[in-house]
A and B are shown apart, each in its own frame.
Chain A
């Protein structure tokens, strides 16, 4: 299976996916940690995928979304953004709306 197919499978089999450095329990980067905190504050059930544990995914996810940084959030297969965009959405109350209805 190509890395693109693996990613497509991950973001379709799970409603909410966060590609991050480290795990939701032990984030290895401040931006990933902040993203986890925002999702938790929204009450979101999400799957965290540790790119540090998988070099193919770490590189592949950047090409998949044409986005050069980690973390990256996907909801129902759609790329939502990185930590900055998540923060903007969170402050406007939009992230809460996006995750509600997902994660079930």
Chain B
């Protein structure tokens, strides 16, 4: 079981300048990620950057992550 805090830590480790908010119940999560790294990127690319910080956990531990990305 993964916690919202662990997801937040993973995203912040992968995107050090990001402001991250995560809530969830252990299976379904909602995350808002605001990062300057998203500048000039499409929405798909922004979400892919966040997914990349979570790696295999996206396949194995996180059933559903509702994601919102934005620029600072």
Contact = CB atoms under 8 A, between A and B. Distances in A.
Contact of B47 (A31, A62, A81): A81
B59 A88 contact: no
Interface string A55-83: 00000001000111100000000011111
A79 to B, nearest CB: 7
A84 B51 CA distance: 13
Given A66-B48, A67-B48, A68-B51, A88 B43 contact: yes
Contacts, number: 29
B48 A69 contact: no
B44 A79 contact: yes
Main secondary structure of the interface of A (DSSP, over half): mixed
A3 interface: no
Given A79-B44, A85-B43, A88-B43, A67 B51 contact: yes
Nearest to B69: A84
B20 interface: no
A66 B44 CA distance: 10
B2 interface: no
Contact of B44 (A31, A69, A81): A81
Given A81-B47, A88-B43, A68 B64 contact: no
B65 A69 contact: yes
- Which of B47, B48, B58, B65 has the largest number of chain A CB atoms within 10 A? B47
Interface of A: 31, 62, 66-69, 79-85, 88
